[in-house]
Amino acid sequence: MIPGKFEYYRPGSLNEAVALLSKLGEDARPLAGGHSLIPLMKTRLATPEHLIDLSGIAGLKAIEHEGNALKIGAMASQFELIHSDLIARHIPIIPETSLLIADPQIRYKGTIGGNVANGDPGNDMPALMQCLDATYDVIGPGGARSISARSFYNGAYDTALKSGEIVTSIRIPIPPNGHGYAYEKLKRKIGDYATAAAAVVITMSNGYCQTASIGLTNLSETPLWAEEAGKHLVGSTLDSASVSLAVAAAESIVDPASDMRGPAEYRRKMAGVMLRRAIERAKSRAKA
Amino acid sequence: MPKKQISLTVNGRLVEGLVEPRTLLIHFIREQLNLTGAHIGCDTGHCGACTVEMDNMSVKSCMTFALQADGSNITTIEGVANPDGTLSALQEGFRMMHGLQCGYCTPGMIMRAHRLLQENPNPTETEIRYGIAGNLCRCTGYVNIVKAIQYAAAKINGTAFPEAAE
Amino acid sequence: MNQQTPIDIERSERTDKLQGMGCKRKRVEDIRFTQGKGNYVDDIKLPGMLFGDFVRSPHAHARIISIDTTRAKALPGVIAVLTAADLKPLGLHYMPTLAGDVQAVLAEEKVLFQNQEVAFVIAEDRYIAADAIELVDVVYDALPCIVDPYKSMSPDAPILREDIKDKMVGAHGPRKHPNHIFEWQIGDQKATDEVFSKADVTIKEMFVDHRTHPSPLETCQCIASMDKIKGELTLWGTFQAPHVIRTVVSLISGLPEHKIHVIAPDIGGGFGNKVGAYSGYVCSVVGSIVLGKPVKWVEDRMENLSTTSFARDYHMTTELAATNEGKILAMRVHVLADHGAFDACADPSKWPAGFMNICTGSYDIPVAHLSVDGVYTNKASGGVAYRCSFRVTEAVFAIERAVEVLAHKLGMDSAELRMKNFIKPEQFPYRAALGWEYDSGDYPTAMKKAMEAINYKQLRQEQAEKREAFRRGETREIMGIGISFFTEIVGAGPSKNCDILGVAMFDSAEIRIHPTGSIIARMGTKSQGQGHETTYAQIIATELGIPADDIMIEEGNTDTAPYGLGTYGSRSTPVAGAAIAVAARKIKAKAQMIAAHMLEVHEDDLEWDVDRFRVKGLPEKFKTMKEIAWSAYNSPPPNLEAGLEAVNYYEPPNMTYPFGAYFCVMDIDVDTGVAKTRRFYALDDCGTRINPMIIEGQVHGGLTEAFACAMGQEIRYDEMGNVMGASFMDFFLPTAVETPKWETDYTVTPSPHHPIGAKGVGESPHVGGVPCFSNAVNDAYAFLGAGNVQMPHHPWRLWELGESLGLYK
């Protein structure tokens, strides 16, 4: 219930934050909303010696249209994502997903950056970002770079971030007008992580699927971009046979943990059920 | 590590304190400010009994360090009654509709409902249920909490709430 | 048409002003609770107060090789570290349980369940204490553990309780094995076996009422403050039974009761979790006595869920024998009761299995036999009565499930089977085969009312159609109709069968009217949200004609409140409520004498009218209770002492037997195993209804807990004895989104032996609710050939059931 001791810093700039993180190394953690990290610290499963609070850094919350993408500041909260007209208009699967994360209080503080960067397999944004082929802008001691969401995750709490690096923004290509989308999440109750969840974004033309991208949440140590499953849908009318192939492909790549949400075999099958339902809902929303 | 000074507004008054970095906001409020309305009900941030309003957000104060609240504007349950001391619409609603029993979840529940009604003055029952899903109650089964919030919304909006007549 | 006369209207106005029994009086407690001005234990701060925290065992079963407190003691701000070695010379390393066993306060030679208390650190504040507990170095030697109660008594099972291993006889009789606690039997075994051997139809099923936990929102906590100069101990705590705690503390500390002040302030929910005594209380008391400073202990949620008393864990092999036409002839039940490491069951002392023998339920079953074997395992100790009187949730679960199984075997509608076997109204008071005498009931009326309200026939029709649609592949949703008709047994209890540690289970009320006509009243019970400050005043208002708003109710301070056995088991209304009525009537009798004196008439010439005594035939000659009160202090009649007060210790002649008819409609998505409760209708009969608003609130709350328990709330252990589900991440407490909307209704069948006819209601919805949900799930899958579907009904479990039924081909 009570965290261990640590030193606290509230840098006013990104450079300062990066400098602190590099200097303090492994024992330092960035603090965004804190609603993933602080619970871990209270049970002492995480005992960082230094916390670098990013909330004092200006300019990390902006939500902007940049070319054919939306650029979302890493410190934008789930609440801000839900209430952004820009995001609702262009990438509605994002607020749909945000509304399924945690509970109202946590959504005021939980940030998109925190949700994508800490490598917690239970988080919903990572698989969604992979589905949307997002890119994470990162700043570190070695300068700025960008990492695709699809190559960001190595294992549980193990990401491509090097020591001292912070995610500053997330850039997401805007799906075409009329795209179909759905985030289908099975969970025990509000506030729970997914037993299984699937993000689906498709485009249709004359009744045929032109593009399909599928992300799967909490079904492995990392989020999963189900590339093969997506391929089974492309060129089809999203008929039962094609969907079944996609479902089988998805079930074959998941490796869920057995926990109190259910045994692995149940969660594997639920991945399939969630995917099936997400495809159906995406189809109903797609134009042409 | 030496303690750090924080300064914030709580229930309209400027307060100052000395805290360790790890001092949780809930403990600062309860132990240093002696505002014991906000409660602790769990270890994992699920129950919402510690909910306060911070900078126009409903925040679980057990998952926030006091240092993070430096410079912020906080309202606790002790700060929501009307200036003349009468119960606010929500407080009255909870009493009139029997929206509480042991009272332990109540401050957090009211603070959450307070923000909910600011953002959505006329919520449907479903919106209320989703809106308070970050607050657990073990006693009431939620039916009367929903009615309490509907009562308050009606009172604030000046509309009728038929169930209140009973 | 009744025309209301001016007198009727005037009387009705006077009645309304009282806010007495029957009205939806708004709660007095709410004024402070809605403003955050409740006074819970952790709100209390005392000068110089220290903070205690526990070092706990990571192992389920291990020998303690060594405990080194050096590093902890060296941490600045740490005042003391207690271990069993410190408590042993005081004889306090073990404490007596309510079930006749002993329980380790701090583990001495071995630990018996994960998170068991090993050392108690006392520090200047809770942050330092949290650091210090990590600095106590304990060396363990792990031992094989037992988590399956069926293995507790195998010949090669490791012996868990070495402290009592030579005791062949326990508190409740001979022990069959070192890990055996008791065997308890009741009923006529021979006659029962004979009926079974000859019956047309029998059913036998094993129902598990799984381990769960009451989990009130406020955890257990206390502050012990020893005044060494006066030699007096003050103990604030989350105590549902503060006087019992005082007696226990006196027995174990040697301090006399008059020097122990136990105060239960506002309590954030109890549900049975806060009845017994826990290590934290004892260690805080010892710490304060030794250090002469207040010591506060506040457990966190994981400690609460994994170490304070669990509920249930009953494995019930249940059998019914019946005729082909569906008349139930006999019932036979054997229970394997898993008590964890110590039998800390909170039951009246003669009842090691609580009132499990109410298991013949609402049915006229002529002969029955029940046997219960309690065993030890490497789990937290208990069990406690979680919103269920004593084991009544278990008993009702067994019979209400069994009735469904029997109906299914007979091919009979289960509502019809119940109707056929109900105890009839004319049979009351009814002596059940296993001993209890039910006071009153009208089951058929309640059942019919409920069935009409939910349109039962139409639901069964809808279900039949949906089943066909499912078979045709048109839908993947199945519909279940759950029924539960329960009879509860509450209000413990008559001294001939009920005592807690030897103290009879009466309860008490002391009422005093002040000269200017307002009242203070104190009772031996202790509300944890039930609204006694509001409802007790309503009883007094009706009895004595003083407005409820002029009546102050106090509970929880053992110095001022008369001795009582506390609030649990729905006993406040049946026992303390009765004491209130009896005490009030003593006052009323004296008031009548004073009024007669004031009016210069004979007592027999007076009649009571709402708030006054008036002369029969001369209604304009009256004295109000308020006027009588003044007179009692101003000029009492000769031969009568001044003042207007009374005390009553009420010995209930019997328990009370509230009952109800519950119906649940559930739709289950077979592909995910997720069940949605479409509708839940609860008809309760709790006798006289004191405050309908509060009754409805109790029903809502109890049903919500029932829903949680049936649908996923559990505490589990893996084979290594690691506890699972001991945080709100996994322990299923539904939010407002998952919780169904509750519909309530009622009938009124007063209790004939209770002064105001009231039976109590707090636990009925939980007792009746759990089997109703489970029956709905079972009913949904029955047409697919499923056998008994065991709760909790996690989605994954229902999915696995679907797999076994071939639903996913």
Report d(CA A143, CA C434) in Å as an integer: 80
Residues B70 and B106 in one domain: no
Report d(CA C683, CA C408) in Å as an integer: 24
In the Cβ-directed half-sphere of B32, how many Cα atoms lie within 13 Å?
18
Residues B105 and B65 in one domain: no
CATH of the domain at B109: 1.10.150.120
Taking residues C728-743, report their average pLDDT.
Answer: 97
Report d(CA B46, CA C334) in Å as an integer: 39
Q: Is the predicted pLDDT of residue C5 greater than 90, yes or no?
A: no
Q: Which residues of chain C have a Cβ shorter than 8 Å from any chain A Cβ?
A: 126-127, 130-131, 134, 300-302, 671-674, 712, 716, 724-725, 729-730, 732, 734-735, 737-738, 794-796, 799-800, 808
Q: Are strands A69-73 and A166-173 parallel, antiparallel or unpaired?
A: antiparallel
* Tens of pLDDT, residues C397-426: 999 999 999 999 999 999 999 999 999 999
Q: State how far Cα C80 lies from the chain centre.
A: 36
Q: Which residue has the higher pLDDT, C693 or C6?
A: C693
User: A170 near A94, Cβ under 8 Å?
Assistant: no
B166 confidence band (pLDDT: 50, 70, 90): low
Those residues of chain A that have pLDDT short of 70 are: none
Judge whether B111 lies within some domain.
Answer: yes
> Is the CB of A104 less than 8 angstroms away from the CB of B22?
no
Q: What is the CA radius of gyration of chain C?
A: 28
pLDDT of residue A238: 98
- Is some CB atom of chain B closer than 8 A to the CB atom of A100? no
pLDDT of residue A138: 98
User: How many structural domains comprise chain B?
Assistant: 2
User: C287 near C80, Cβ under 8 Å?
Assistant: yes
Residue C146 tokens read as 């037992």
Closest CA to C419 of C325, C316, C355, C319: C325
Mean of per-residue pLDDT scores for chain C: 97
* First-to-last C-alpha distance (Å) of chain B: 58
Give me the residue label for tokens 């030679």: C109
Residues B73 and B99 in one domain: no
Residue B100 tokens read as 């509480």
Q: How many CB atoms lie within 10 A of CB C183?
A: 17
Chain C (674-713) residues lying within 8 Å, Cβ to Cβ, of chain B: 693-694, 696-705
pLDDT of residue C648: 98
Judge whether B165 lies within some domain.
Answer: no
Residues B75 and B12 in one domain: yes
Residues B70 and B121 in one domain: no
Domain final residue, candidates B79, B98, B125: B79
Q: Which residues touch B47 (CB under 8 Å, ≥6 apart)?
A: B41, B105, B108, B135, B136, C217, C728, C733
pLDDT of residue C8: 85
C-beta contacts of C634-638 below 8 A and 24+ residues apart: C634/C515, C636/C594, C637/C593, C637/C594, C637/C597
* Tens of pLDDT, residues C468-493: 999 999 999 999 999 999 999 999 99
pLDDT of residue A194: 98
pTM for the structure as a whole = 0.97
Residue C291 tokens read as 């250090």
**Containing structural domain, residue B9:** 4-79
* Tens of pLDDT, residues B113-129: 999 999 999 999 999 99
Residues B73 and B94 in one domain: no
C230 confidence band (pLDDT: 50, 70, 90): very high
Catalytic site includes residue C240: yes
Domain final residue, candidates B60, B79, B98: B79
Tell me, what amino acid is at C286? V
Report d(CA C480, CA C677) in Å as an integer: 9
Catalytic site includes residue C387: yes
- Is some CB atom of chain A closer than 8 A to the CB atom of B139? no
Question: What are the two backbone dihedrals, phi and then psi, of residue C176, each rounded to the nearest 5 degrees?
Answer: -85, -15
pLDDT of residue C376: 98
pLDDT of residue C20: 97
C385 confidence band (pLDDT: 50, 70, 90): confident
Judge whether B166 lies within some domain.
Answer: no
Judge whether B163 lies within some domain.
Answer: no
CATH of the domain at B52: 3.10.20.30
Taking residues C653-682, report their average pLDDT.
Answer: 98
DSSP β-bridge partners for residue C314:
C209, C337
Taking residues C19-25, report their average pLDDT.
Answer: 96
Residue C503 tokens read as 């103290």
* Tens of pLDDT, residues C583-636: 999 999 999 999 999 999 999 999 999 999 999 999 899 999 999 999 999 999
DSSP β-bridge partners for residue A203:
A211
Residues B140 and B106 in one domain: yes
| Residue among C32, C269, C302 minimizing CB distance to B102 | C269
- Is some CB atom of chain B closer than 8 A to the CB atom of A45? no
pLDDT of residue C6: 86
pLDDT of residue C82: 98
- Catalytic hit among C388, C686, C709, C772: C388
Q: Is the predicted pLDDT of residue C1 greater than 60, yes or no?
A: no
Q: Which residues touch C374 (CB under 8 Å, ≥6 apart)?
A: C172, C180, C181, C182, C183, C184, C337, C339, C343, C345, C352, C353
Report d(CA C209, CA C791) in Å as an integer: 7
pLDDT of residue C384: 85
Report d(CA C641, CA C586) in Å as an integer: 14
Chain B (107-146) residues lying within 8 Å, Cβ to Cβ, of chain C: 107, 110, 128-130, 132-146
> Is the CB of B44 less than 8 angstroms away from the CB of A109?
no
Report d(CA C551, CA C547) in Å as an integer: 7
| Residue among A10, A105, A191 minimizing CB distance to B58 | A105
User: C56 near C303, Cβ under 8 Å?
Assistant: yes
Judge whether B97 lies within some domain.
Answer: yes
- Catalytic hit among C56, C246, C387, C522: C387
C432 confidence band (pLDDT: 50, 70, 90): very high
B165 confidence band (pLDDT: 50, 70, 90): low
> Is the CB of A189 less than 8 angstroms away from the CB of C737?
yes
pLDDT of residue C29: 98
Residues B57 and B9 in one domain: yes
Residues B59 and B21 in one domain: yes
Report d(CA B162, CA B166) in Å as an integer: 8
| Chain B residue with minimum CA distance to A5 | B22
Domain final residue, candidates B48, B79, B110: B79
| Residue among B58, B65, B67 minimizing CB distance to A104 | B58
Residues B70 and B102 in one domain: no
pLDDT of residue B1: 65
User: A164 near A21, Cβ under 8 Å?
Assistant: yes
What b/e sequence results for C474-504 when a residue is b if at least 16 CB atoms lie within 10 Å of its CB, and e otherwise? ebeebbbbbbbbbbbbbbbbbeebbbbeebb
Q: Which residues touch C584 (CB under 8 Å, ≥6 apart)?
A: C511, C539, C540, C543, C544, C646
Please report, rounded to a whole number, the percentage of residues in chain B having pLDDT higher than 70: 98
Residues B115 and B143 in one domain: yes
Report d(CA C685, CA C362) in Å as an integer: 13
* Tens of pLDDT, residues C301-314: 999 999 999 999 99
Mean of per-residue pLDDT scores for chain A: 97
Residues B68 and B111 in one domain: no
Give me the residue label for tokens 């094609």: A242
Q: Is the predicted pLDDT of residue C2 greater than 70, yes or no?
A: no
pLDDT of residue B163: 83
C4 confidence band (pLDDT: 50, 70, 90): confident
> Chain B: nearest CA to A86, how far in angstroms?
19
Judge whether B48 lies within some domain.
Answer: yes
> Is the CB of B104 less than 8 angstroms away from the CB of C40?
yes
